[in-house]
């Protein structure tokens, strides 16, 4: 398996509260990265991204670009409807792409549980995103009840299976990443143990390989209470290719510490 360049993505969800706070968080991110570079501890072989609210996607992007930052800006979600039209409240993949946003999350457990997004909706969203040229981080994960019933792996593989055939293999190869986020670990302070996370990631990778051998090197990110103090043990797992970070990404210092854990330069500084 070729080395997979890890991704560390900060999902800011519906935070922070004001435009000023968004700007400060972005600036802190820029400053922390600069400090790391200045100390010779570069963040190498790593993709970094943040997902602000829709309201702030472009201002955060502009601020990062002005600072010549390599941090990418991605959307937290996308409309199931394509193009333009009478879809009050929605933003389509095409509008995101036209505004220079190249990637989106789809299928986050909060979208599934709080907004009732089922496989039909997620298939439409995936198709809309791919047709507009966006890359996608597709999120999967089981609830605590499902885990306790011994169904975790089955549920997660099913979540992949129900969308797999809605886009071409070529797009899976080039434009998809998977994020495993056990629902019981999101925002709870409970992280999956590195062994449990690794075991699920290995199962996801085997499932992808079953679809086609070329999918064996798709990045598979872990999400769910990733913090600076557990990032290194997760990063050490062979099948964990990055992190999707919620709460800890709202603190630039914590986020960069997590990024360091996944950077291949991590032993240098």
Smallest gap from Cβ 169 to ligand 13P, in A, equals: 26
Residue given tokens 């011994």 in the structure block: 150
Of residues 215 and 226, the one with the C-beta less far from ligand 13P: 226
Question: Closest separation between CB of residue 239 and ligand 13P, Å?
Answer: 18
CA distance 230 to 213: 31
Distance, C-alpha 117 to centroid of its chain:
18
Closest CA to 57 of 39, 43, 36, 78: 78
Long-range contacts, 158-162 (Cβ 8 Å, 24+) = 159/107, 159/119, 160/204, 160/207, 160/208, 161/207, 162/119, 162/122, 162/123
Which residue lies nearer to ligand 13P by CB, 94 or 244? 244
Q: Least distance from C-beta 222 to ligand 13P, angstroms? A: 10
Residue 162 designated active-site = no
Q: Tell whether omega for the bond before 16 is within 30 degrees of 0, i.e. cis.
A: yes
- Pick the closer one to ligand 13P by CB: 218 or 221: 221
Instruction: Collapse the DSSP code of 186 into the 3-class scheme (helix H, G, I; strand E, B; otherwise coil) and give the result.
Output: coil
CA pair distance 12, 50, nearest whole angstrom? 7
The residues, any chain, with a CB within 8 Å of residue 184's CB and separated by 6 or more, are 142, 143, 144, 147, 190, 224
Closest to ligand 13P by CB, 8 vs 94, is 8
Pairing label, strands 7-11, 220-223: unpaired
Residues that bind ligand 13P (CB under 6 A): 11, 108, 181, 186-187, 223-226, 244-248
- Closest contact distance (angstroms) between CB of 265 and ligand 13P is 24
Closer residue to ligand 13P in complex, CB, 94/152 = 152
From 108, 110, 142, 153, the catalytic residue: 108
Task: Output the smallest distance, CB 246 to ligand 13P, in A.
Answer: 2
Catalytic status, residue 108: yes
Binding residues for substrate: 11-13, 187, 225, 246-247
**Closest-approach residue to ligand 13P (CB):** 246
Catalytic choice (117, 124, 146, 181): 181
Determine contact, residues 228/261, Cβ cutoff 8 Å: yes
**Torsion angle in degrees (nearest 10) through CA of 157, 119, 107, 219:** 40
**Residues with active-site annotation:** 108, 181
């Amino acid at each position: 398996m070729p080395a997979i360049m890890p991704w560390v993505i900060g999902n800011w969800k519906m935070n922070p509260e004001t435009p000023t706070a968004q700007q400060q968080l972005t600036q802190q991110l820029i400053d922390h990265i600069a400090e790391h570079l200045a100390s010779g501890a570069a963040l190498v072989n790593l993709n970094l991204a943040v997902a602000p609210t829709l309201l702030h996607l472009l201002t955060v992007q502009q601020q990062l670009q002005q600072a010549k930052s390599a941090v990418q800006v991605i959307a937290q979600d996308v409309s199931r409807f394509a193009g333009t039209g009478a879809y009050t409240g929605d933003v389509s993949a095409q509008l995101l792409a036209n505004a220079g946003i190249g990637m989106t999350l789809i299928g986050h457990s909060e979208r599934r549980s709080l907004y009732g997004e089922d496989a039909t909706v997620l298939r439409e969203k995936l198709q809309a995103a791919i047709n507009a040229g966006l890359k996608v981080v597709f999120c999967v994960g089981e609830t605590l009840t499902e885990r306790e019933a011994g169904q975790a792996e089955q549920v997660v593989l099913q979540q992949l299976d129900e969308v797999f055939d809605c886009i071409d293999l070529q797009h899976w190869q080039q434009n998809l990443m998977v994020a495993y986020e056990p629902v019981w670990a999101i925002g709870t302070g409970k992280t999956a143990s590195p062994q449990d996370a690794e075991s699920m990631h290995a199962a996801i990778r085997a499932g992808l390989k079953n679809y086609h051998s070329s999918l064996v090197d798709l990045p598979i990110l872990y999400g769910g209470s990733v913090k600076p103090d557990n990032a290194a043990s997760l990063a050490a797992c062979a099948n964990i290719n990055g992190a999707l970070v919620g709460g800890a990404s709202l603190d630039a210092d914590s986020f960069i510490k997590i990024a360091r854990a996944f950077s291949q330069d991590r032993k240098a500084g």
